[in-house]
Each structure stands twice: as C-alpha cells, then as structure tokens.
Homo-oligomer: A and B are copies of this chain.
Amino acid sequence: MDRDSAHAILLVSCVDRRGLIAAVTDFIYKNNGNIEDVDQHVDKDKGIFFMRIEWSLEGFGIPRKDISAKFTPVARAYAMDWHLYFTDYRPKAAVFVSKKLHCLYDLLYRYRMGQLMMEIPVIISNHPDAEELARGFGIDFAKFDMTGENRADQEERQLKMLGEKGVELVILARYMQILTGQFVNEFKNRIINIHHSFLPAFVGSRPYEQAFLRGVKIIGATSHYVTEELDAGPIIEQDVVRVSHRDSISDMQRKGEDLEKVVLARAVRWHIERKVLVYGPDMNAKTVIFD
C-alpha cells in the first residue's frame, strides 16, 4: 500500500445490464479504496450504461501500475469500454488561435491561476498576433502560414510538432481554419472547438452576422468536439445571452466573446477532469457530462 494523495478515475460505458455498478464498486471496496464520487447514467432508448467513478488512492490495495491489469477481468465480464485516469496527471494541450485572442487570453489566465490541470507546451497560429501573449506566459509559439493550398503539408508539420511535444488535446480557441479529416481522426474526441453561435443555429462562418440578420433575441456559444462535418460534433457545453434590436453586430460580438471564453473554459476543464463521455455513431454523437 502506498501513500498516494491522488485519485483514480474510471470512465465506463457498455451495454446496460444488472450488476454493473455492484461489480465496479465491489472491486474498489475489496481493494480498500474510498469512493469519493460516483455518477452514472443509462440511455434508456439505446440501452447503454455510463459511469464515472473516482476513488482515493490513499491506502488502495493495488499499486497504480497494476490497477488496469487487475480491473481487466471485471471489465471483460461485462464487455466494458473503459479508461483509467489519475488526477495528478497533467495532459498536454496545444492551443490553436487566429487573430481574435480573447479565448486564449482567458485560458492563459485560468491556466496560470491553477484552474486547469494541464500543461500548454505550445500555442499555434496562422497569424503572428498571439506571439507576444504566448511569450509573456513563457509558452512556445509556432506560426504556420495557411494559404489554402498548403493545408495538408502544414497540418502534417503541425501533427509532427504535436507528436514531438506529446500533445494529447487540441483546443481551437477561435482558430478560423477548417481541419482536414486526417487531422481530426488523429485526435478523435480530443479536439475542442468554440463556435460562436448556439448550435445547430448558425453553422459556419459569420454566425453573429447571421444572428443579426435573422433578428434573434438571444445569442449563444457552443463548445464541441471536432468531427469531419463542420460544427456538427458532439456538444460539450453551451451558454446564451440576451440581445435586442439595439445591438449591432459588433455589440453581439462583444457580448458573445464573454460567452465564448466561459463556455470554452468549462469544456476544457470538464475534459481534463475526465467528466465527458462521448457516445453514439460518428455522425450523431452526443456527450454525457458528469459535472
């Protein structure tokens, strides 16, 4: 038994059946784990079971490195799809930006304040605007010019850089480029985008202009995992703010920026705290958020 102040987190999804919760809680209890939090959900239409369980490693009877092996028979008995995480592990995230820096600026503040348990080894952009901000926080900055023709080449170079730096999560903090299917698939369910509308309303470019033209009374922002189809990936979080006929497009942009920052930050935090489960067919995937 070790003296470990971290927690283990197990994310489970599988076909729903009797005994699932008992099997997992039993495994933890018999090995002297103290369950700190358990949250579970069943999609009754589809008969799928989801669980997030977090327990203290202090006094736990299995060393970290052996937990997976020991849990495997339990998981197999129920054909579970499962992942094990530890709360003291800080995943590496790359932030992609373009010219609008409000989301980046906000993320960096939260990062410095310790609100986000991750590392940011690099900030990537197709414009130079973020360089000074990145340097101010002591973070590498890499500029990749995008011409429309060189996208595949540049993405390959980006992927190489992400690989070298051990990046596990890509945050598109108002990065105005569309990623190729290849890039998306390399980081499946690990690219978080912020879209500046209340999806599925106003997909694509210039959502504030679209909202202004339509005369909506509320605007929104949506963070979602990126899939090959534009702005159609599983939604992690959304929020809204009221507008009126008095709000010009630039008023909407200003109000919307305050939303975008908060909505993206929530999504990133939930992702790195392992509170998000994605499920369903690729074209129609949704999230379970254990917040």
Closest Cβ of chain B: how far from A240's Cβ, in Å? 5
Q: Roughly how many angstroms separate A92 CA and B152 CA in the complex, as a whole number? A: 50
Closest Cβ of chain B: how far from A86's Cβ, in Å? 20
CB of A200 within 8 Å of the partner chain: yes
Whether A36 and B42, one on each chain, are in contact in the complex, defined by CB atoms closer than 8 angstroms, is: yes
Q: Roughly how many angstroms separate A35 CA and B17 CA in the complex, as a whole number? A: 9
Known: A136-B136, A245-B289. A254 touches B115 (CB 8 A): yes
Whether B102 and A41, one on each chain, are in contact in the complex, defined by CB atoms closer than 8 angstroms, is: no
Residues on B with C-beta less than 8 A from A44 are: 248
- A interface residues, how many (CB within 8 angstroms): 64
CB of A234 within 8 Å of the partner chain: yes
Q: Which of B18, B20, B254 makes the CB contact (< 8 A) with A32?
A: B18
Q: Considering the complex, give the chain B residue whose CB is closest to the CB of A217.
A: B238
Known: A18-B34, A21-B25, A258-B262. A215 touches B240 (CB 8 A): no
CB of A39 within 8 Å of the partner chain: yes
CB of A214 within 8 Å of the partner chain: yes
CB of A188 within 8 Å of the partner chain: no
Residues on B with C-beta less than 8 A from A284 are: 213
CB of A202 within 8 Å of the partner chain: yes
Interface bits A187-224 vs B (CB < 8 Å: 1, else 0)? 00000000000111110000000000111111010000
Name the interface residues of A25-48: CB closer than 8 Å to any CB of B: 25-26, 28-30, 32-44
Whether A200 and B217, one on each chain, are in contact in the complex, defined by CB atoms closer than 8 angstroms, is: no
CB of A228 within 8 Å of the partner chain: no
Give 17 pairs: A residue, B residue, CB < 8 Å, sorted on A: A18-B33, A18-B35, A21-B25, A37-B40, A39-B39, A41-B246, A43-B245, A199-B216, A214-B286, A216-B235, A217-B235, A217-B237, A217-B289, A218-B238, A242-B242, A245-B287, A246-B291
| Seed contacts A216-B235, A217-B238; 12 additional CB < 8 Å A-B pairs | A19-B29, A22-B26, A25-B26, A36-B42, A136-B136, A200-B202, A215-B234, A217-B237, A217-B289, A218-B239, A245-B289, A258-B262
A contact set with B: CB distance below 8 Å: 18-22, 25-26, 28-30, 32-44, 102, 105, 109, 113, 115, 136, 198-202, 213-218, 220, 234-240, 242, 244-246, 248, 254, 258, 262, 280, 284-289, 291
